[in-house]
């Protein structure tokens, strides 16, 4: 039997609850689908940082390299560890070291989920550049704490990095409804964003079947609210993609439904799957975190591993669950209730 080795990093806060839930569902579907999952849990988190001074051990990346995939919960516990330390100590190094340059985030309404918009149906796939741009980590501060203090943070856009993510966007659009929205702010940012637009135009010549439109990020944000059904695939830089996908989460009913996959398209290193949401300290430990985003991310992991049928079954089980009104209202159902409803739904498929 095919066995996949999965690194589990629950992380902080509700990350622990949602990983437990997703792992239960993933194993349940594996049992009836003819493959097995072997999980190895790593306690890397802000608590680990408090104990060791690091978010993960020095050889953390090398440890993860041998796995087929990584399933991550949430990172961040700002009361005790600054967010910039936790993010740059765990999540971002994994994305960069494993060249997980495509962060894929689907936005659509599951049955029975009432989003805040009038639109009843939309199906958007946001592709966020995941290794460079505004998150490159290049910069510094001088004269710290003094009146003449200066802080510089440089966005880095490389031709290789921009080309590969826009090409990935074109490929996704070609495989879906043939529409690509390329996002910049090239009126204001006249170097990096004009560069992005030029590369979009150059690649468009290779994809005559894809209708590509360049949007400024502000206009695209408005379009996501006013006419989400008009959008198919969105490709955006690291920061713009991050912001737009929180908006995407909002229009699909909340962060409890927003899944994501950090993909190494060349499969030269493991890819990582995680909900878009963070550790939610306000509800941590209350047992009311919605595990659906993580379960959906787990389905994306199975899809990536080639277990397409099992991934489809999970998505159908989620749809049955939300169709019954379970997990659709924040705080109404417990994590355990939602998980067992999804598990029961799986048995009916
Ligand atoms: N689910 C992982 C997590 O904790 N995400 C919260 C977060 O702030 N992520 C930053 C990012 O995706 O760039």
Quote the pLDDT of residue 119.
84
CA 135, distance to chain mean position in Å, is 15
**Helices assigned H by DSSP within the chain:** 15-31, 46-52, 60-65, 83-86, 92-97, 159-175, 192-204, 217-226, 238-251, 292-304, 308-323, 335-347
Q: Which pLDDT value is given to residue 330?
A: 87
Kindly give the distance from the C-alpha atom of residue 278 to the centroid of ligand 1, in angstroms, as a whole number. 5
Kindly list the averaged pLDDT for each block of 10 residues, start to end, along the chain of length 349: 97 97 98 97 98 97 98 97 95 96 98 91 97 95 97 97 98 98 96 98 98 98 97 98 97 97 97 97 95 98 98 98 95 95 96
Q: How many A from CA of 91 to the centre of ligand 1?
A: 7
Mutate to test the pocket of ligand 1, among 135, 259, 278, 281 (most ligand atoms within 8 A of CB): 278
Atom 10 of ligand 1: nearest residue by CA position: 87
Domains of the chain: 1-101+255-349 (3.40.718.10), 116-251 (3.40.718.10)
Task: Output the six-digit token pair for 55.
Answer: 């978010």
Looking from the CA of residue 276, the nearest atom of ligand 1 is: 1
The pTM score is: 0.95
35-41 and 211-216: which strand pairing?
A: unpaired
Q: Residue 331: its pLDDT value, please?
A: 86
Do the bridges between strand 35-41 and strand 2-11 make them parallel or antiparallel, or are there none, so unpaired? parallel
- Helices 217-226 and 238-251 cross at an angle (nearest 10°) of 10
């Amino acid at each position: 039997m095919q066995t996949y080795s999965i690194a589990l990093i629950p992380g902080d806060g509700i990350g622990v609850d949602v990983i437990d839930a997703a792992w239960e569902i993933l194993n349940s579907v594996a049992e009836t689908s003819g493959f097995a999952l072997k999980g190895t849990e790593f306690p890397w988190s802000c608590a680990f940082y408090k104990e060791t001074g690091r978010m993960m051990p020095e050889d953390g990346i090398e440890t993860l390299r041998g796995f087929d995939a990584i399933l991550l919960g949430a990172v961040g516990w700002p009361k005790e560890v600054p967010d910039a330390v936790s993010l740059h100590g765990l999540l971002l190094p994994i994305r960069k070291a494993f060249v997980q340059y495509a962060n894929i985030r689907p936005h659509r309404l599951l049955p029975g989920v009432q989003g805040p918009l009038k639109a009843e149906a939309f199906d958007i796939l946001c592709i966020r550049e995941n290794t460079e741009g505004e998150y490159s980590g290049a910069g510094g501060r001088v004269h710290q704490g003094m009146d003449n203090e200066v802080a510089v943070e440089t966005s880095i856009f490389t031709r290789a990095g921009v080309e590969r993510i826009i090409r990935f966007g074109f490929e996704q659009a070609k495989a879906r409804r043939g529409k690509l929205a390329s996002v910049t702010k090239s009126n204001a940012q006249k170097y990096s964003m004009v560069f992005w637009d030029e590369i979009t135009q150059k690649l468009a010549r290779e994809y005559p079947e894809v209708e590509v439109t360049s949007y400024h990020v502000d206009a695209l944000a408005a379009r996501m609210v006013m006419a989400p059904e008009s959008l198919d695939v969105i490709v955006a830089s690291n920061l713009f993609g991050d912001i737009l996908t929180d908006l995407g989460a909002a229009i699909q009913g909340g962060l409890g439904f927003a899944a994501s996959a950090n993909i190494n398209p060349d499969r030269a290193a493991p890819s990582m799957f995680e909900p878009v949401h963070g550790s939610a300290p306000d509800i941590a430990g209350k047992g009311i975190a919605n595990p659906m985003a993580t379960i959906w991310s787990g389905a994306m992991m199975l899809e990536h591993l080639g277990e397409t049928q099992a991934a489809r079954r999970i998505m159908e089980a989620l749809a049955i669950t939300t169709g019954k009104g379970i997990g659709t209202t924040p705080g109404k159902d417990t994590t355990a209730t939602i998980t067992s409803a999804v598990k029961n739904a799986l048995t009916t498929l």
